[in-house]
Amino acid sequence: MAQCTRNVAADDCNRCLVGAVNYIPTCCDGKQGGRVISWSCSIRFEVEPFYNAQAAEEAMSPAPAPGGGSVNGGAGSNHTVRTALLVSIPVAVALLVLLLVAVYLCRRNRKPHKHVQIATARHEDIDEGMRSSESLLYDLSMLRAATDNFSEENKLGEGGFGPVYKGTLQNGQDIAVKRLSATSQQGQVEMKNEVFLLAKLQHRNLVRLLGCCIEEHERLLVYEFLTNNSLDKILFDPARQQELGWGLRHKIIEGIGRGLLYLHEDSRLTIIHRDLKASNILLDGDMNPKISDFGLAKLFNIESSVGNTSHIAGTYGYMSPEYALHGIFSAKSDVFSYGVLVLEIVTGRRNTYTHASGPSEDLLTYVINIRTDPSDCHHGSVRTLFQALNPCRAWAGLEALEPRERSGAA
């Protein structure tokens, strides 16, 4: 069955239907039925009837003349029948041709690789997310041209699910394109998460998803381009970290906190990010932070606020103990990661820090050692910190790291 919306011209309808038919091998390869939905047309095919043929014929038949008879007698009746045939036969032929073309394309492009398949339900989830926002479906040719065919010169970085490239559209707009691995099943899950969640979330401290592309085995996500890249590129670069004064660091910490609060409490959905770290914080031209990379995020309903998983995913060092050891995660898991990130921003050290001569020391141990030996406050960047902060309040904030000492501290 092929349909177009009523406000679409015949030529536009034809182009839309041809594009939908060409998309069938991508979304429905090897399937006995499927549906392709676009903004102005849709196609559906099944091996069994899925609509009432008699009702369709009645809808296509002309209404009888008042009084049950024809005004012009037999000639009028013949004219009515002829008109009905002229209308219904071409429509039926067109539908049959479209169905045959769809079946032919599906069989011609059928391949045994499982990674090519995106279940119809999953595509419908993606389409639902796209329709609920201002996001767009981008053409692969457009994104290839924008990124110079994903050249190394335009590569911004490498994530857990694939590289990210800078691109420039024909209208001059800069974009960031994440190219998910075509052979990674986890990459497909990440894409579903990103599109479904980010299309429904709008906040100034969350990165904005512009759209996606699903063509020729490519899985691409298109984001707004943020000129200052990710926080880790500045924070852990000895030559650039001097750009981050205390006022700017406070601004970044506060912005990340606002974004996290929105995810946990203020949005229509309750989202646990599960992978909050410096490389997933992007900075715009004014150094405003935006949380990115929602591939591991989990959605909670109103009745539930704690999840459990046997598949531990994320970055060690930022994981809360209950999540790393037992797979239990909640909003508190994100808060733990946020605390580690705050310590990184304040000290300018990575969570795992390697001395020039000696074993590596994780950041939490480093901070606790400062508490044990306050003389360390007079060395490095920490000295400036404790000139600005009340040490007593700073130590009080670390009590949660050593519960056994709470009674002694009191």
| 3-state SS record for 152-164 | HHHEEEEECCEEE
Q: Which helix (H) or strand (E) holds 361?
A: strand 360-362
Name the catalytic one among 125, 237, 275, 286. 275
Q: Residue 274, Cβ neighbours under 10 Å: how many?
A: 24
> Token pair for residue 130?
């796209």
Burial class (CB in 10 A: 0-12, 13-18, 19+), 248: middle
pLDDT (0 to 100) of residue 322: 76
Give 139's Cβ-side CA count (13 Å radius): 7
Domain ranges in the chain? 2-110, 120-224, 231-409
Three-state secondary structure call for residue 215: strand
Can you tell me the distance from the alpha carbon of 289 to that of 305, in angstroms, rounded to the nearest whole number?
26
68-112 pLDDT per residue, tens? 444 444 455 566 666 666 667 777 777 777 777 777 666 655 443
- DSSP secondary structure code for residue 288 in this structure: -
pLDDT (0 to 100) of residue 107: 62
Q: Are strands 136-137 and 209-215 parallel, antiparallel or unpaired?
A: parallel
pLDDT (0 to 100) of residue 175: 95
pLDDT (0 to 100) of residue 310: 52
pLDDT (0 to 100) of residue 89: 75
pLDDT (0 to 100) of residue 233: 92
Q: Is-above-0.95 flag for pTM?
A: no
Whether 273 and 267 have beta carbons less than 8 Å apart is answered as no
**What CATH number does domain 120-224 carry, 1.10.3720.10, 3.40.710.10, 3.30.200.20, 3.30.2130.30?**
3.30.200.20
Sheet of strand 209-215: strand arrangement? 136-137, 209-215, 218-224, 174-180, 162-168, 155-159
Task: Report the 3 state secondary structure along 26-82.
Answer: HHCCCCCCEEEECCCEEEEECCCCCCCHHHHHHHHCCCCCHHHCCCCCHHHHHHHHH
E strands, 160-315, are 162-168, 174-180, 209-215, 218-224, 270-272, 281-283, 289-291, 298-300, 306-308
> Token pair for residue 23?
């998309």
Q: Which residues of the chain have pLDDT under 70?
A: 26-27, 29-30, 39, 50-87, 104-135, 159-160, 182-190, 298-314, 326, 353-360, 371-410
275 is catalytic: yes
pLDDT (0 to 100) of residue 290: 96
pLDDT (0 to 100) of residue 341: 94
Residues 6+ apart with CB under 8 A from 51: 1
Please tell me the CATH code under which domain 231-409 is placed.
Answer: 1.10.510.10
Numbers of helices and strands, H then E, in the chain:
14, 17
